[in-house]
Chain A
Amino acid sequence: MRRIVILWLGLAVASVALGAAAAFETRATRLQAIKTVGIVSAIGEEMSLTQAGLTGLGNTGQTASISAWGLDELIVQQTTKLLSGRFRVQPVSYRRTAFAAIRDSAVAPVNLLRSDPFKELVRSDVAPQGLDAYIVITRARSKLGNGRNVEGVGLAQYRTLLADYGLIHALYEVRVIDGKSFDVIEKRAAAPLDNTGTMRLAGPSGTVDQGLDGPASSERMRAAIADLITRSLPVTLGDMHLANGDER
């Protein structure tokens, strides 16, 4: 009797293990099958200007158009360069504003339960269809201070009683979307570049120095943001096993 129970238990454990292995195909397996990719980038249309810390009542964030900076073109160019060693990257067309307009729900469980909104957009809005996968780079979000969220590209000021601190940020996340099933194979937000500051965001950011004031500040700001992107992209794509580690 005891032997039969052990036998049944062993059979049950083996069934569960095999079932789990079959059901949970790893992302590495799915990434290995990808040969052709298209790249979508939609973070560079506007930048946010946010204040946190000791701010006045009614202080709300502002936005400014930065489409002339060509950040999305830079991202596509850099990503193409990083992925070319492993994938055949094909140019794709898409409505950038449609991708930039999508926001996460404020109710966290909704984001887990609903279908990823970028899946449908890739299916309906990107041409050509039929590539093995699409790499979609969109804005990510982070907390700043206690009651402020910052997103995408921006300039944030944290005000204290005795001093003000400035941060530039380029917060983005990368999705790998299957070109046939449109499942999200992997999604990852770019990580902070270092852990040396006491004021941190959940993505690439850097302190604002004096050089960002005065004439030609826009060009210097663009250069600083571009630097955040070009330094963080190899790390992020490497972490996702999309680019070779030695390209960092």
Chain B
Amino acid sequence: MNHFDEAALDPAVSAQQILLTAILAALVAIVAIPQSASAQTAFTLPAPPFEVPMLPSPSGNWTVMVGIGGEYTPDFVGSKNGKFLPIPIFSIRRAGSIDQFRGPRDSASIALLDVGNFRAGPAFKYVSSRKSDKYSELTGLGDVKAAYELGGFVEYYPVDWLRLRTELRQGFGGHSGAVADVSADVIVPLIQRLTISAGPRFTWKSTKATEPYFGVDAAQALASGLPMYDARGGAHSVGVGSQISYRINPQWEVHAYVEYQKLLGDAADSPLVKLRGSSNQTTVGLGASYSFDFRIR
């Protein structure tokens, strides 16, 4: 469960960024902890010297959430081995506004349209590069550059405890195909502080989004020893995910999640997956975050 306002940071940020964020988070937490216990807000910042026309004033109370998490995830999509990634958690929102439910697989998104139970807006996902020299299974397949997927999301709550979400994104960089994610989450608050959620997931990818990761051309076949393979688009994966979050107090929250994906279609049939990897993809994550308020006069 990553947070970046409504925008999640991608797990694959560089080590430097992670370290910087962790240090910043620790510093902010040290500043905030002694004061927040007794004060309504941790600190007050002066008002900005001017207002920008059209934009709302930043004055008022804000809630900042900082934290750190970790995720055990496949080395690359289709890999049978995994790696541990630290994940910084950071969000900033108007004080009192609800930290809305997020699924671990949700892209970074902003709800420009929000009528309560229906939300929609732009979505963005960063897909990290795949370096062939980092994993022996990829030897000879060459690198795939980082991809930037831009698109939109729509989510609908028929009832407060059921979220249906769809994302459609177009890739740039590492792939230039289209990706669609569909998910449903049943969100059950056991008590006010403890919430569990679970639901199915489905992903569709076009040929241009599948080929760079699962196709093997003649040169790659020669260099890798894998048979040539023409990967086409279609149903990419189906899976299930679940998460649990517990708010210890208004400041501290801990969470954990597990996501399972079964690769389908040409992705599952790729020799990279069949001969050197696995179509079963599991991600497990956990994290803790600390929230504090500050005020802009």
Contacts and interface: CB of A to CB of B under 8 A. Distances in A.
Contact of A147 (B40, B160, B250): B160
B101 to A, nearest CB: 5
24 contacts: A26-B51, A52-B160, A53-B160, A54-B160, A54-B161, A59-B159, A106-B115, A107-B113, A109-B112, A112-B56, A145-B98, A145-B160, A146-B157, A146-B187, A149-B114, A149-B115, A158-B189, A161-B191, A162-B191, A186-B59, A189-B60, A194-B40, A195-B41, A200-B250
A191 B60 contact: yes
Contacts of A107: 112-113
A231 interface: no
Interface in A150-196: 158-163, 165, 186-189, 191-192, 194-196
Nearest to A52: B160
Interface residues of B, number: 49
A81 interface: no
B163 A146 contact: yes
Contacts of B116: 147-149
Interface in A67-104: none
A59 B51 CA distance: 41
B34 interface: no
Nearest to B97: A202
Interface of A: 20-21, 24, 26-28, 52-57, 59, 106-109, 112-113, 142-149, 158-163, 165, 186-189, 191-192, 194-203, 205, 239-240
Contacts of B94: 189, 202
Given A158-B192, A160-B189, A26 B49 contact: yes
A97 to B, nearest CB: 23
B120 to A, nearest CB: 9
A54 B192 contact: no
B3 to A, nearest CB: 15
Q: Which of B40, B189, B193 has the most CB of A within 10 A?
A: B189
B95 to A, nearest CB: 6
Contact of B161 (A26, A55, A188, A200): A55
Given A55-B161, A145-B160, A191 B192 contact: no
B297 interface: yes
A196 B95 CA distance: 12
B97 to A, nearest CB: 5
Contact of B56 (A59, A146, A187): A187
A188 B159 contact: no
Top 7 A-B pairs ranked by shortest CB distance? A147-B157, A24-B50, A202-B96, A147-B117, A160-B189, A143-B98, A149-B116
Nearest to A28: B47
Given A26-B49, A195-B40, A203-B96, A160 B157 contact: no
A147 B159 contact: yes
B247 interface: yes
